[in-house]
Amino acid sequence: MKRTTYVWTLAVVCALLTFSVLTLGCTETPSGEENDTVIDENMTPGNGDTEADAMMISEENMDSIIGTEWQWAEMSGPMPADQLLVPDPENYYLVFSEDDIYYFRADCNTGSGNYTLEGESLTLEPGVMTLVACGEDSLDSQYLASLNNVTSAATENGQLILYLEDQENRMLFDNGGDFEQDSA
């Protein structure tokens, strides 16, 4: 009897967590408002003192980021409250594969999902993941919510830059080397 109750409780918790992850990135633009932000392919994101042009990721150059373990190093945005240095980047990684699947680690959880790249528009669809409580100091919720709001990507000075819906906030990833499937 206890085992049946445990299984049902676990199933309900998994369903609720899956629903939460799937709805994190859902936003609605009020009618009549348009997003007038346009990313020019020669635009240089504000990433410190660099003057190098960012190379927008498109279908033609997606191979340049496939198979690499991209470690989340910081969140960057226009306001001081938008700035975040990730204390343990190796605990938050992202890997793109050739078969339109991305793998991720969000602190104590790992998972995967599908990605879609149309022109320079990148969408990371919520996928499946382990459901471990990582602790109150974890950035797992912020990381996952940000991944759900990615709209495009670029590389600049060896970093991967994921632009979020508002185009002002960015996730910056350092190259952690080739991804080894056993490390997931």
Asked if the structure places residue 144 within a domain, the reply is yes
Residue 131 within a domain: yes
| Chain centroid to CA 77 | 15
Are 105 and 129 in contact by the 8 Å Cβ rule? The answer is no
**In-domain check, residue 130:** yes
* Residue 53: predicted pLDDT: 79
Please give the biggest Cα pair distance in the chain.
65
Q: Is residue 88 part of a domain?
A: yes
pLDDT (0 to 100) of residue 166: 83
pLDDT tens per residue across all 184 residues of the chain: 555 544 444 444 444 444 444 444 444 434 444 434 343 443 434 434 333 578 999 999 999 999 999 999 999 999 998 899 999 999 999 999 999 999 999 999 999 999 999 999 999 999 999 999 999 999 999 999 999 999 999 999 999 999 999 889 999 999 999 998 654 4
How distant, in Å, are the alpha carbons of 64, 83, 122, 175 from that of 48?
Answer: 23, 12, 24, 17
- Residue 27 domain-assigned? no
CB 74 within 8 A of CB 85: yes
Q: What is the pLDDT of residue 182?
A: 57
HEC secondary structure over 4-67: HHHHHHHHHHHHHHHHHHHHCCCCCCCCCCCCCCCCCCCCCCCCCCCCCCCEECCCCCHHHCEC
Would you say residue 100 lies in a domain? yes
Residues 161, 15: Cα–Cα separation, whole Å: 32
Q: In this structure, what CATH number is given to the domain that contains residue 121?
A: 2.40.128.270
Residue span of the structural domain in which 153 resides: 48-183
Residue 168 counted as domain residue: yes
Whether 151 contacts 162, CB under 8 Å: no
The pLDDT, as a whole number, for residue 111 is: 98
Does the residue 39 lie in any domain? no
Measure the CA dihedral 98/105/113/133, to 10°: 170
In the chain, how many domains are there? 1
